């Protein structure tokens, strides 16, 4: 009886590992379809005056793949708080982008994407505080690795071009236009349906 159980357990383990290995050898998904995902990363805020800072960034995304080369994608981004006690800001935004992918193998691919960011910033400069919303362009590039046909891991770098404009609420501040680049390096996952 003990030998029979050992044989059954061994056959089950071999069958399971063979099925798992075969699922890992499947190529990238070529079928069109929706996907969802999320990114977590590092945000570098390069701005004029006091708007330089580092921060964490969170991003949720949804997209549609037309084929293995072309997709459209939308996301919600929380850029968090940045600045110091004299000038600080909290920025959130939404994006829409076109994403182009070039497969390098059955598992690896590089991609670029570009599009529009609609963002809103709550900020304060000395004793003045207000909110400001605008739209900006962004561009990004990354590397993806297919764990299976449905699960993908991404590493991505994105630059958002944003201007913080305090003219609306602070006419007596000398420099009220803060040219700011938000640079995001992140890792993330996707699930493809």
Provide the pLDDT confidence category of residue 88 given band limits of 50, 70 and 90.
Answer: confident
The CA–CA distances, whole Å, from 1 to 9, 11, 12, 14 equal 12, 15, 16, 20
pTM for this model (two decimals): 0.73
Phi-psi region of 98 (alpha: psi -120 to 50; beta: other; left: phi over 0): beta
Distance in angstroms (rounded) separating the CA atoms of residues 132 and 90: 10
The CA–CA distances, whole Å, from 168 to 28, 162, 193 equal 50, 16, 45
Distance in angstroms (rounded) separating the CA atoms of residues 53 and 158: 16
Per the prediction, the chain carries an average pLDDT of 79
93 compared with 14, residue with greater pLDDT: 93
In this predicted structure, the answer to whether residue 143 has a pLDDT above a threshold of 80 is yes
Nearest to 124 by CA among 170, 180, 183, 67: 170
Structure confidence at residue 134 (pLDDT): 84
In this predicted structure, the answer to whether residue 112 has a pLDDT above a threshold of 90 is yes
State the DSSP H helix or E strand holding residue 189, giving kind and residue range, or none if neither.
Answer: strand 177-192
Provide the pLDDT confidence category of residue 168 given band limits of 50, 70 and 90.
Answer: very low
Provide the pLDDT confidence category of residue 18 given band limits of 50, 70 and 90.
Answer: very low
Least confident span in 47-51, 58-62, 113-117, 135-139: 47-51
Mean pLDDT throughout 124-145?
86
The structure tokens 């900020």 sit at 123
Structure confidence at residue 130 (pLDDT): 78
Domain boundaries, the chain: 2-192
In this predicted structure, the answer to whether residue 12 has a pLDDT above a threshold of 90 is no
Please report, rounded to a whole number, the percentage of residues in the chain having pLDDT higher than 90: 46
CATH fold for the domain made of 2-192: Porin (2.40.160)
């Amino acid at each position: 009886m003990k030998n029979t159980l050992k044989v059954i357990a061994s056959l089950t383990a071999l069958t399971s590992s063979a099925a798992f290995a075969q699922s890992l050898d499947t190529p990238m998904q070529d079928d069109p379809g929706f996907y969802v995902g999320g990114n977590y990363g590092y945000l570098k805020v390069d701005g004029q005056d006091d708007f330089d800072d580092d921060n964490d960034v969170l991003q949720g995304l949804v997209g549609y793949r037309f084929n293995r080369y072309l997709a459209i994608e939308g996301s919600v981004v929380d850029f968090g708080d940045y600045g110091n006690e004299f000038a600080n800001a909290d920025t959130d935004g939404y994006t829409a982008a076109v994403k182009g992918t070039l497969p390098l193998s059955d598992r690896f691919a590089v991609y670029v994407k570009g599009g529009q960011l609609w963002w809103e910033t709550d900020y304060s400069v000395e004793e003045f505080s207000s909110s400001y919303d605008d739209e900006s362009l962004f561009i990004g590039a990354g590397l993806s690795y297919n764990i299976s046909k449905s699960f993908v891991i991404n590493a991505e770098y994105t630059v958002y071009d944003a201007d913080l404009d305090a003219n609306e609420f602070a006419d007596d501040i000398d420099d009220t236009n803060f040219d700011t680049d938000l640079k995001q390096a992140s890792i993330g996952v996707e699930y493809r349906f």
